[in-house]
Chain A
Amino acid sequence: MPVFMRGNYIFVEPGHKCFEVSSNFTNYLELGIQGITKYYIEAIIENDEFKISGTLLDKSGEILCRLKDNFIEASKGYNKEMTPYGYRVKGKDGNLVFEIQVENDLICHLKGMIYGESGEIIAQDREGEFIILKGPAIIGKSGNAIGIKLD
């Protein structure tokens, strides 16, 4: 059984799909907490535009890049590239580390690994899915509604 409920909590068994969140609800993503965790990413929709801001870390816990309203500033040792649909950050070896890509103006894909301060994987894309492995995280916040909160 991939999911079970107890009290007001939903418990999810790792590695199993349990429920699908509708696309009109996933209009907000927050990983980490600005000012609290060394990394954080906030992806919102404002006036029909995807707006992504944050600070991402590399595997060693050092700052990989900073994002402000989609514009990326890559740290020394990493290269940023603009594409017709977003941005990429590549390592010195040319390997892709992180990518933002918009699809048909409707879906915004985050690709690559998002690391925590100790090098632990916070979230990653896998076969077209974006998997959040560790909180704190919020999905689907809107107005006064907190959305889905992962501690």
Chain B
Amino acid sequence: MIDKWKLATGKVICCDIGKTGSGFFIGDRGLFITNNHVVARMDIDGAGAIRLDYSKQIFIQIAENTHRASLVIDENSDRPVVYDYAILRLNVTPKVYFDVADLSEVSQGKEVIAVGYPLDFGEPIISKGIVSAIVSRPSHINALHRIRTFLTDTLITYGNSGGPLIGASDGKVIGITTMPHEIRDEARERLLGYVNLPGMEVMRPIRDLIEFVLRYLTVGFNYAISIEYAMDDPLFGSLEGGM
């Protein structure tokens, strides 16, 4: 089972925008799901508007093979951005792929597994945990919208973004691993304030140290966005088959 999960999960490499992450096959038609923030560079302009730049050079590395991928989503649609998903197409017929779980049956305490390519690992890493809570939270991209997310204690860190969160017993996908739960307290706000102090530019090592600590200092809870948003994309079409 684990070998199949690993072959259905790939490392996403966006050469032109310098981003990497994880992703996975859904169905047998070569459709591949990842996070939107893995395949797009997002900036906020001087007027406070979100500007997106989608990668034009997306490659998926699975085991020994590397495949070129193209975006299936509508690049002008806000939906994939808000719900942080992207659908890619690979010109291969996947030998193994994931099925989608019946989300109405997912409950708090369910044992889950995250598969992905965190940090600088060159092969898929698997970690196990439970669904710690099912929460509706403001979108981390646009807080006007809320997203159904699975909070999990499964180990997820940088590079896991876009990978599948699957049921430990049946291997069916319930979510897209997206981001760690950041500590938001007074101490963190103070540290963030120090980073932006005038003159901190000349104290680069201290600033880098603060940024490094803030990046990896998490409590161990992570968020996976419900797979329902990608499945409901108008361009996704119908899914057939399974692992």
A70 to B49, CA, bound (A): 16
B146 in contact with A48 (CB, 8 Å): yes
B50 in contact with A84 (CB, 8 Å): yes
Q: Given A49-B136, A71-B78, does the pair A86, B142 have CB atoms closer than 8 Å?
A: yes
A47's contact among B81, B143, B146, by CB below 8 Å, is which? B146
Q: Please, what's the 1-or-0 string for B129-152, where 1 marks a CB less than 8 Å from any CB in chain A?
A: 000000010100111111000000
Considering the complex, give the chain B residue whose CB is closest to the CB of A50.
B144
* B207 beta carbon closer than 8 Å to chain A: no
**Count of chain B residues near A, Cβ 8 A:** 17
A85 in contact with B136 (CB, 8 Å): no
A86 to B142, CA, bound (A): 6
Q: Please, what's the 1-or-0 string for B1-41, where 1 marks a CB less than 8 Å from any CB in chain A?
A: 00000000000000000000000000000000000000000
Q: Given A82-B50, A83-B48, A105-B138, does the pair A49, B146 have CB atoms closer than 8 Å?
A: yes
* B44 beta carbon closer than 8 Å to chain A: yes
Minimum distance in angstroms from A101 CB to a CB of chain B: 8
Q: Given A71-B78, A71-B79, A88-B49, does the pair A83, B142 have CB atoms closer than 8 Å?
A: yes
Task: Note all chain B residues with C-beta closer than 8 A to A86.
Answer: 142-144
Task: Note all chain B residues with C-beta closer than 8 A to A101.
Answer: 144
Considering the complex, give the chain B residue whose CB is closest to the CB of A103.
B143
B49 in contact with A83 (CB, 8 Å): yes
B49 in contact with A49 (CB, 8 Å): no
Task: Note all chain A residues with C-beta closer than 8 A to B145.
Answer: 49, 70
* A3 beta carbon closer than 8 Å to chain B: no
A67 to B130, CA, bound (A): 38
Considering the complex, give the chain A residue whose CB is closest to the CB of B48.
A83
A48 to B141, CA, bound (A): 18
Kindly identify, within residues 41 to 88 of chain B, every residue whose CB is under 8 Å from any CB belonging to chain A: 44, 47-50, 78-79, 81-82
Minimum distance in angstroms from A76 CB to a CB of chain B: 14
A47 to B145, CA, bound (A): 11
A60 to B214, CA, bound (A): 51
Task: Note all chain B residues with C-beta closer than 8 A to A87.
Answer: 78, 142, 144
Q: Please, what's the 1-or-0 string for A47-63, where 1 marks a CB less than 8 Å from any CB in chain B?
A: 11110000000000000
B50 in contact with A47 (CB, 8 Å): no
* A102 beta carbon closer than 8 Å to chain B: yes
A52 to B142, CA, bound (A): 14
Considering the complex, give the chain B residue whose CB is closest to the CB of A101.
B144
A86 to B44, CA, bound (A): 13
B146 in contact with A84 (CB, 8 Å): no
A84 in contact with B142 (CB, 8 Å): yes
Task: Note all chain A residues with C-beta closer than 8 A to B146.
Answer: 47-49
Task: Note all chain A residues with C-beta closer than 8 A to B81.
Answer: 82
Q: Given A47-B136, A48-B146, A70-B145, does the pair A82, B79 have CB atoms closer than 8 Å?
A: no
Q: Please, what's the 1-or-0 string for A84-108, where 1 marks a CB less than 8 Å from any CB in chain B?
A: 1111100000000000111001001
* A13 beta carbon closer than 8 Å to chain B: no
Q: Given A48-B136, A71-B79, does the pair A85, B143 have CB atoms closer than 8 Å?
A: yes
Minimum distance in angstroms from B133 CB to a CB of chain A: 15
Contacts from B to A (Cβ < 8 Å): 44, 47-50, 78-79, 81-82, 136, 138, 141-146
Could you give 15 example pairs across A and B, Cβ below 8 Å?
A: A48-B146, A50-B144, A70-B144, A71-B78, A71-B79, A72-B78, A82-B78, A82-B81, A82-B142, A83-B48, A84-B142, A85-B143, A85-B144, A87-B144, A105-B143
Contacts from A to B (Cβ < 8 Å): 47-50, 70-72, 81-88, 100-102, 105, 108
Known interface pairs A83-B50, A85-B144; 6 further A-B residue pairs with C-beta atoms within 8 A, sorted by A's residue number: A47-B146, A82-B81, A83-B44, A85-B142, A101-B144, A108-B144
